[in-house]
Chain A
Amino acid sequence: MPTAVKMVNIVKSFPGVLANKNVTLEVEKGEIHALLGENGAGKTTLMNILFGLSQPDSGEIFINDQRVSINSPTDAITHGIGMIHQHFMLIPVFTVTENITLGEHSPKEPLLDLETAKNKILEIGKSAGLHVNPDAKVMDLCVGEQQRVEIIKAIYRGANILIMDEPTSVLTPQETDELFVILHQLTEKGNTILFITHKLREVMAISDRVTVLRDGSLIGTVKTKDTNRNELAKMMVGREVFLTFDKNPTHKEEVVLDLQHVYAKNECGLHALKDVSLQVKGGEILGIAGVDGNGQNELAEVIMGLRPLDRGDILIKQRSVKLNTTRDIIDLGVSCIPFLRQKEGLVLTFSVSENLILKEWHNPPITRKGFFDTKAIIDLSKKLIKEYNIKTTGPNAKVGNMSGGNQQKVVLARELSRNPNLVVACHPTHGLDIGATEYVRQQLLKERERGAAVLLISTELDEIMALCDRIVVLFEGQIMGEVAGEKINVDDIGLMMLGVRQENLHHGTLAVAGCSSAETKRCNVTTTEKDTI
């Protein structure tokens, strides 16, 4: 088999981190090659180098056995490489055609020629089974469709080697299956696919061969059919992994959080949450499953008082909080691990101690008689640094310079040390390495055992299934159903994530929406940030 891509002894360092250490990768023509590794293992860096987004410090690249130097995405495109990024590189206010032709030489240069382009797009769509409306604005498309636009964009530019960075992270299990069908069709036509992932299930399901990276180093390349999940897991993390947690039975009586027929609007005035009712008891973890963007953010925000309630009521410890401010809700003993820890949870330019007091700064012992008690702040910080094993030089170190795992520990220390009644945890392990992930999960289970109510919002089904006592599935801001305890069926959850109501699950004829084109996605107005400064 001829090789499509060969990367030899690639070294790449960023300030403070060596992201690739002498990595060698060989991909055969026409295969689906998985690149496996946990977060921060250097997969994306390696692919950014292949696509010319960053330059290696040393190493060689061969495309179709020709030595090449790739200094920019333009070079990569000329060599037939296309990349589908994890966060789509699309412009929401542009149409599909505009997005695809952007930067391409127009037949009527410098004038735009969208008609010709449209026909070509439809042609590609037909031959590869990628259906999309070329006149639609990208912001009106659902995630699966946007991904198809990205694939067409790459093919339009003549790509026959496709790099896909975590392509399934935004898809439901069913949409994932659909994507896999497309990928097989593409390889049958002679395309080569490099599939970056950290999910073992997908590696086993789709790849021909798999290369494992750990900590920036190459661990090895194996044929998928000659290996198994456990072996891959061991290669990936360097030791045996325990995917299950021991959950002790707890005593669940008091309802801590009670949402009653909650409606809330998004920035465009459309309903992001529709008639959501749920309860979380003390000593229980309730999971919210769903494809990202189906109202999870809004759910966390209404609970925290960051988004006004349109209708319905929220009770925390039997007290209605629909008219209360975020401050009041926090003071009721509600803690939140936000979606975006660097943006919502931390002030990166502040020190560790300044971040650790970001919930209790106005209360004793931190503030006494209107002034900060500096000694109390330092003492508290030192205590939390020790208790939560935060790796830092001390309370005055800047949080912005710490690793993601350490930053999340600062958030956890601040939120959990308050002994909250309710913890709203949003994607708490997103972007963390396996060690930090395990730590966060243990901490959440500890809170559960202490008797706190935990609402866990996550798009990682594995995480939700491992930790939660009950699971609720959100689709387009509505609850599709609820499953509890041991009898959880992944396919059922997947169907609910696609918009099938639980009561319709086993009715034979399924009216699957096919595309989670939620109203919530159509909103493109951001109001949180101010004009300048």
Chain B
Amino acid sequence: MIDKKSSNQLDAIRSLSLDRLDFLVRRFERLFSFLVPVLAVLAAMALISVLIYALGENPLKAYKALAVGSFGTVYDFANSLNRAAPLILVGLGVAIAFRGGVFNIGGEGQIMMGGITATIVAVYITGLPIYIHIPLTLLAGFIGGAIWGFIPGYFYAKHGTNLIITTIMLNDIALGILSTLVKGPMVEPPGYYPQTPLVQPSSILPLIWPGTRLHAGLVLAVLAAFAFYIILFKTPFGYEIRTVGENQTAAKHAGINVFKNQIMLMLISGGLGGLAGTVEIIGAQYRLRALFLPNYGYEALAVAILAQRNPLGVIISGLLFGALKAGAGSMQRATNLPMSLIAILSGVIILFVIASGILMGLPRYMAKKRLAKMEETDGSPTNKSWLRNIFLKKEPGKDYE
């Protein structure tokens, strides 16, 4: 009844082949992590096409109008990039918080609060040189958003209060405050329109592409993404964030202050949201209105998830959503399709990406299943198949022992 091979030997082979399997699967997973977002976007667009078609419109015509609106002229293209700047910033905030296991969908409110504090500094402080006024405005915007991130973050870290409920409530509260301010205390005299006066010229971000409206906000956003990539993967602080995000209990046992970490994350995440609002005010709109970046806080979730929570990926997905937002207006004019299509698209993309979690686990699952089958048939892990070649051949230049 006892096996031909001694069980110890068999165990060694099994363990080693599992590890080689792991090595192979990791390669597949890397491939999949690029493939999944692309597939998700395509699948979502296909699904939306069906919806458009069902409503009697031509999807191709709609997508064409969308593309023309985003890339048709240099001016449109610059506009797409301008839309991407706040999306990258707020999406970056969501992605980083997500890495630390904190789910921030309060971007909407954080944008608004950042917009308010930045506008106060940009409108009412006068006589500053540009190189002081811009950083000061950015700082003010960051702080405004950070406060709005800190409030739910504190209760979450302290009591585990449901972040989604608190942040959504704070989004609506921020909107109420903002609407009140632009109609009353901060309204531009004589008060015909619900908007503030123009910001001081010394607080305006420079335009960086002559002949277009492209402002320096995009540069700021891309720099921030690179900075956070380095922080996340190359510094002890980023390591702590990732540890807390993956396993809080282990983080505590390693002596990481989870409470402090989560509050820090919500501060940073909210601050980046505030920065997004600031960049829009002093880069594109030059004054504050009630819904000055509608839905950006929610689309940031799609930006972060499509980027697989990777700061560099956020740049790409931010650019994609920027183009969509810029093009949606022209699509609305060319067809009977309203801009809310972009919201649907972003929601569907999120669903496809997270539902593909099962797809991501597929290579590992299939490989293991196959391995087990082989082991079952003759007691040794692999016999004559392609798997054997991969598992039992030594990888050149790698030592396993």
A: residues with CB less than 8 A from B are 11, 13-18, 21, 57, 214-215, 217-220, 238, 304-306, 325-331, 336, 338, 340, 343-350, 354, 357-359, 361-362, 367, 370-372, 374, 391-394, 396-398, 401-403, 406, 435, 527-533
Contact = CB atoms under 8 A, between A and B. Distances in A.
B7 A401 contact: no
A394 B398 contact: yes
Given A347-B247, A372-B236, A306 B372 contact: no
Nearest to A40: B11
Given A16-B368, A531-B160, 10 more contacts: A16-B18, A215-B11, A217-B2, A326-B253, A326-B254, A347-B250, A358-B254, A391-B19, A393-B398, A394-B400
Given A406-B15, A531-B161, A370 B246 contact: no
A327 B227 CA distance: 27
Interface in B217-265: 230, 234-236, 239-240, 242-243, 246-257
B253 A531 contact: no
A533 B102 contact: yes
Interface string B363-386: 011001101110110010000000
Given A18-B375, A214-B7, A530-B160, A336 B255 contact: no
Interface string B177-205: 00000000000000000000000000000
Contact of A217 (B3, B15, B16, B256): B3
Question: How many residues of B sit at the interface, in one of the four size bands?
Answer: 35 or more
B236 A397 contact: no
Contacts of A18: 372, 375-376
Contacts of A392: 19, 400
A362 B256 CA distance: 11
Contacts of A57: 376
A392 B252 CA distance: 26
B101 interface: yes
B250 A343 contact: yes
Contacts of A305: 255
A374 B7 CA distance: 38
B26 A398 contact: yes
Contacts of B15: 391, 403, 406
B73 interface: no
Contacts of A217: 1-3, 7
9 contacts: A219-B2, A338-B253, A347-B243, A361-B239, A370-B235, A374-B234, A393-B22, A397-B26, A531-B161
B19 A15 contact: no
B10 A215 contact: yes
B22 A398 contact: yes
Contact of A358 (B1, B250, B365, B375): B250
Nearest to A306: B252
B23 interface: yes
Interface in B112-169: 156, 160-164
Nearest to A405: B15
A215 to B, nearest CB: 4
Nearest to B11: A215
A326 B255 contact: yes
A17 B17 CA distance: 11
B234 A371 contact: yes
Contacts of B3: 21, 215, 217
Contacts of B163: 531-533
A57 B247 CA distance: 35
Contacts of A358: 243, 250, 254
Contacts of B23: 393-394, 397
A338 to B, nearest CB: 6
Given A348-B247, A530-B160, A17 B14 contact: yes
Nearest to A328: B255
Contacts of A16: 14, 18, 21, 368, 371-372
Nearest to B256: A327
Give the interface centre of A217, A343, A358, A406 by most chain B CB atoms within 10 Å.
A358
A218 B248 contact: no
A372 B235 contact: yes
Sort A-B residue pairs by CB-CB distance and give the 6 closest, nearest first. Answer: A15-B368, A327-B255, A13-B372, A326-B255, A215-B7, A530-B160
Contact of A343 (B11, B12, B247, B371): B247
A469 B67 CA distance: 77
Given A219-B2, A530-B156, A532-B162, A15 B250 contact: no
Give the interface centre of B164, B234, B240 by most chain A CB atoms within 10 Å.
B234
Contacts of B12: 391
Given A325-B257, A345-B253, A346-B250, A533 B103 contact: yes
Contacts of B101: 530, 533
A127 B250 CA distance: 48
Nearest to B16: A391
A393 B19 contact: yes
Contacts of A359: 254-255
Nearest to B103: A533
A374 B12 CA distance: 30
A403 B17 CA distance: 12
A393 B20 contact: yes
Contacts of B252: 306, 326, 528
A527 B248 CA distance: 12
Contacts of B103: 532-533
Interface string B102-115: 11000000000000
Give the interface centre of B12, B26, B255, B400 by most chain A CB atoms within 10 Å.
B255
Contacts of B250: 343-347, 358
A330 B247 contact: no
Nearest to A11: B376
Interface string B2-45: 11001110111011101111110010000000000000000000
A393 B10 contact: no
A391 B13 CA distance: 10
Nearest to A13: B372
B249 A344 contact: yes
Contact of A238 (B7, B248, B251): B7
B372 A15 contact: yes
Nearest to A362: B236
Contacts of B235: 367, 370-372
Contacts of A340: 249
Contacts of B243: 347, 350, 358
A396 B372 contact: no
B251 to A, nearest CB: 8
Interface string B319-360: 000000000000000000000000000000000000000000
Contacts of A338: 253
Contacts of A220: 1
B390 to A, nearest CB: 12
Contacts of B8: 238, 435
A168 B163 CA distance: 43
B10 to A, nearest CB: 7
A349 B253 contact: no
B162 A219 contact: no
A372 B232 CA distance: 11
A377 to B, nearest CB: 10
B372 to A, nearest CB: 4
B311 to A, nearest CB: 16
B400 A529 contact: no
Given A401-B18, A403-B15, A529 B248 contact: yes
Contacts of B26: 396-398
Contacts of B242: 350
Contact of B253 (A306, A370, A529): A306
A14 B370 CA distance: 10
Nearest to A350: B246
Contacts of A11: 376
